[in-house]
Amino acid sequence: MAEALVSIVLEQLGTFIVDQVKGQVEELRMAIGIKKEIQSLSLKLKMIKEALDDAERKKVKDKNVKHWLEILEDFSYDTDNVLDEWRTRILQQEIERNEAAPASIPRKKVSCFILPSCFTFKKLEVNRDIVRKIKELDVKLEEIVREKDQFYFVVTTNGGVVSDQGVFKRVMTTGIVDESSVHGRDSDKDVIIRKLLESNDQENGPLVISVVGTGGIGKTTLAQLAYGDEKLKGHFDERIWICVSDPFDEVKIAKAILEALTKSSPNLSQLHMLLERIQECISKKMFFLVLDDVWSEDYSKWEPLKNSLKNGARGSRILVTSRSERVVGMMGSSYMHRLGQISNSDCLSLFSRIAFSGRTNEDRENLEDIGERIVRKCKGLPLAAKTMGSLLRFKVTEQEWQTVLDNQIWELEEVTIDLFPHLYLSYDDLPPILKRCFSYCAIFPKDTVINVDRLIRIWMAQGYLSTVENNQQEAKGREYFMNLAMRSFFHELKTDDKNASVIISCKMHDVVHDFAQFLSRNDCYSITGTEETENKEKVLRVYHLCWDRTDSTVTPISVCDIGKIRSLFAEHLLAKDLTRDLSKGLKCLRVLNLHGCGMQELPEEVGNLCHLRYIDLSRSKVENLPESISCLCNLQTLDLYGCKNLSRLPKQIGKLINLRHLITTDTPKLEFFPQGIGKLAQLRTLGDFIVGKGSSKLGYIGKLNQLQGYVSIHVIDNLNDAEDVIEAQKAALRNKQYIKELRLNFYWKSEVSMDVMEALIPPPNLRFLTINGYRGTRFPTWIPLSLNNLRVLTLSECFNCTFLPPLGKLPFLEILWIRLMDELKHVGNEFLGLPGTIEAFPKLKKLRFSCCSEWEEWTDLKQEVGISVMPSLKELELNYCEKLKSLPYCLLQKVSSLESLKIKMCPCLELHWNEISHIQKIETDNGM
């Protein structure tokens, strides 16, 4: 853990000192005389960083090294706090200068350390305080370096690697398994066997089949079951089992393959000669090669071996096991089998076979109930069941079993010796930044559904993405998440309904979560209500705290130094629990999660938490936000999702110049946004934005060109005069190229002129558009002229529109939903985009009309030469279109290719049922 945390903090420190000091604060360094301390800090930190790999490994067996690393962690946190305080002072003074500057003078960044004659005594004292702290840090670091030297760490430079030194040995595997000892893998085995035997050949070498899953899930066991299967033994000419492990040694692997083929040790050492000999041995033979436990993502190491295996006969197969989807993707896997947990009953059978071995029936009956509850902790992870079974095999009494049940898995010494090393290998393979991102997830309670965007924003708040370019932090955070997910650190991945390639949420397996708790046990802590205040010494070093609301008297103040806490997760907190003493004491806080809290307002003292970057008040009872929040110039995320009672935002919100995510979705009482929101140039997420006379103006969002994802504009009043047109033009929606989904919602009493609508030209990359409640009689001309990338369009409750725009011209439209258009009576050829197109709705897959009560006629397409209509249509739905008499012939022709047809309450509509009898899904209810 220390390596991950310290590496990140040191990198931030080095970047700050080396780069930023040369720039905007050069005057302070030279004027006040801390140049020597800065250079000293840089030098010492570089020396320490070179020893961290070895220190991390030695701490497992050496308590003195472990204690030294803890001191180094504390120092790194302290250093980060001082640097952040320094940056914050610079930022605050720049904001003050910009606020005070006359409007006629262009506002620009001015170094706050030039020390002009008007510089106040208070500011000078603040800067002197920063200098004093930096000098104190240098003294502390000198002592840390001095203690380091007594351990004689092996130094690594230029990306060198220190060996494992026997701390975590990788187990060499074989293809032999006792099938009777395996539980819950019959169906997985059947799938793998079928894939290995099916006649699905490729010309460019043998097919690669892969098994992927977290450590201890049973990948090797499944490969062993396949390797020993009698059908496979008779099917292949040669079977070869290779334990690859890490590092990927091409020569060693080639020798092992050749040895298996020739049944003798090859007297060759050059890779080229080995591969040539392999080619000779497998020529025209159908072989089955298992590569167990592959880690390397380097294609250059795999390619030579892959090429040498192309001489095998058709039907040859390679079975790969790995913890990483990235690895099997690199190896060109044709089928990837994600191995999941076994059932609870299979897990119990596996556990019982070991734990109850040699016991009497009476002993078994006495311990069975506790055993079942212990097995539930394993959550279907076979290795965990084996480990727990081995642990309890020699524990005789019911009390001993109860003690194991009552303890956290990560607190049991036997588990950390037998189970966690398997997970540690995956963890140790990560770069330091990903180690920290993973171990931080221990802060979430078990079985939490983790929202990925939320997780990335929290990582940002903790500084784990601070070395990434400002405009790339969210993208890099998602890259970090995907890297961890593809290595099986997360499971139950849920994808976005609108984009299957985007993961929106996940969970951590309980045992993986236990491992994260084990790694971060000195940093993260949860107050669950069972603690006693005597535990204070145990959790004194806590930096990330999860406080479950309980009736216990245990509070953060009673169990830890709240002045050090950087994360406070206190969901569903009651108003009485967030005391002013607590609010004032959290002076190092970066993340404040008060989701679902019962308080109606935050204490004003929150505005003093200068390091705060993330505030989550989603689904809380908060009615107003204190104006002091505007002082939090580092704030990046303010999550107000579902705050039903929230009525206003801080007037000075424009001072939050680093705010990136203002989540205001589902806040029905919030009907006003301060004008200062227009200054938030870093804003990426806005959610709902309210506009109307006497309320926010469209022009407020004019400069917010970093907005991305989903934006919903709610018009709650009339926008029908010349000033409103100007404001709509100022909004400049077309310049917001990162917005992918736009909703234009008009309240029932709002009247919006066509000139205003014409000015609201959407961005060119828009994928989803909803227009809801529009009261005009026709749609703006930018439909379809400016929507060339649109995939989904919904036109809803546009009661006064008498005809549809030429939507057939939209080249990529896949889904179209039209509902509640009371004045629509006729749909003509203009709907298809005629004249002027040779293919109408070329990509449309789903079409739905609902509640068009006056719609009578859908004009048939005239026999135009070469016109194609909806060639990709698969689903058609017509609901409550009571007066519609028939479908056009051009659409009836498509009925034979539909997969789904739903017709409800369209009593006048006539269809030839013999034309649709083949459709897989038909629902009709015409009220007849």
| Confidence grade of residue 763 (pLDDT, cut at 50, 70, 90) | very high
Residues 712 and 745 sit within 8 Å (Cβ to Cβ): yes
For the chain, helix, strand, coil in percent to 5 are 40, 15, 45
pLDDT at 123 over 60: no
Kind and range of the H or E element at 475? helix 473-486
Whole-prediction pTM: 0.87
Q: Comparing 104-113, 184-193, 440-449, 693-702, which segment has the lowest mean pLDDT?
A: 104-113
pLDDT, residue 108, reads 45
Residues 6 or more apart whose CB falls under 8 angstroms from that of 527 comprise 545, 546, 547, 548, 550, 552, 554, 555, 556, 559
Q: What is the pLDDT of residues 157-171, one digit of tens each?
A: 554 544 444 455 667
pLDDT at residue 46 greater than cutoff 90: no
Residue 731: per-residue pLDDT: 97
Residue pair 617/643 in contact by the 8 Å Cβ criterion:
yes
Residue 418 has, within 13 A of its CA and on its CB side, a CA count of 15
Model confidence at 539, in pLDDT bands (50, 70, 90)? low
Question: What is the model's pLDDT at position 717?
Answer: 92
- CA neighbours closer than 13 Å in the CB half-sphere of residue 170: 19
Radius of gyration over every alpha carbon of the chain, rounded to an integer in angstroms? 33
Q: Encoding tokens for residue 602?
A: 């935050």
Tokens at 707, concatenated = 């907005």
Alpha-carbon span 454 to 459, nearest angstrom: 9
Retrieve residue 10's tokens: 């040191």
Q: For residue 335, give the nearest of 230, 212, 214 by alpha carbon.
A: 212
- Tokens representing residue 62 in the block: 């050496």
User: What is the structure's pLDDT at 107?
Assistant: 46
pLDDT for 827 beyond 90: yes
536 pLDDT above the threshold of 60? no
Helix (H, G, I), strand (E, B) or coil at 449: coil
- Report the range of poorest mean pLDDT among 107-121, 221-235, 692-706, 770-784: 107-121
CA dihedral 379, 383, 388, 393 (to 10 degrees): 140
Show the tokens assigned to 276: 């040539």
For the segment 251-271, what is each residue's pLDDT rounded down to a tens digit? 999 999 999 999 998 888 899
pLDDT for residue 888 is more than 50: yes
CA distance 243 to 252: 10
Backbone angles phi, psi at 806, to 5 degrees: -75, 70
Output the pLDDT for position 879: 94
* Contact by Cβ (8 Å): 589, 609: yes
- For residue 270, which of 251, 291, 285 has the smallest C-alpha distance? 251
- Residue 543 burial (10 A CB sphere; 0-12, 13-18, 19+): buried
How much is the pLDDT for 219?
94
- Average of per-residue pLDDT across 166-181: 76
If we measure between CA atoms, which residue out of 594, 544, 588, 546 comes closest to residue 567? 544
Interatomic CA distance for residues 922 and 916, integer angstroms: 8
pLDDT digits (tens, 9 = 90+) for 293-334: 999 999 999 999 999 999 899 999 999 999 999 999 999 999
Structure tokens at 486: 């593809």
Other beta carbons less than 10 A from residue 82's beta carbon: 18
Amino acid letter at 15? T
What is the rounded CA–CA span in Å between residue 30 and residue 860?
Answer: 82
d(CA 777, CA 798) in angstroms, rounded, equals 8
- State whether residue 854 is helix, strand or coil: coil
Classify 668 as helix, strand or coil: coil
- Of 183-187, 197-201, 272-276, the one with minimum mean pLDDT is 197-201
**Residue 97 pLDDT:** 78
**pLDDT tier, 408 (very low <50, low <70, confident <90, very high otherwise):** confident
Q: With pLDDT > 70 as the criterion, what percentage of the chain qualifies?
A: 87
Tell me how far apart the 2 most distant CA atoms of the chain are, in Å: 92
Asked if 746 contacts 774 with a C-beta cutoff of 8 angstroms, the reply is yes
Tell me what the mean pLDDT of segment 483-500 comes to.
91
SS (H, E, C) 538-553: CCCCCCEEEECCCCCC
* Phi–psi pair at 125, nearest 5 degrees: -65, -40
| Model pLDDT for residues 640-685, shown as the tens digit of each residue | 999 999 999 999 999 999 999 999 999 999 989 999 999 999 999 9
Specify the pLDDT at position 118: 39
Question: Which helix (DSSP H) or strand (DSSP E) does residue 238 occupy?
Answer: strand 238-245
* Arithmetic mean of pLDDT, 428-434: 87
DSSP for 738-768, please give it: TEEEEEEEE-TT--B-HHHHHH-PPPTT--E
User: How far apart, in whole angstroms, are the C-alpha atoms of residue 613 and residue 462?
Assistant: 8
Inform me whether the pLDDT recorded for 552 exceeds 90. no
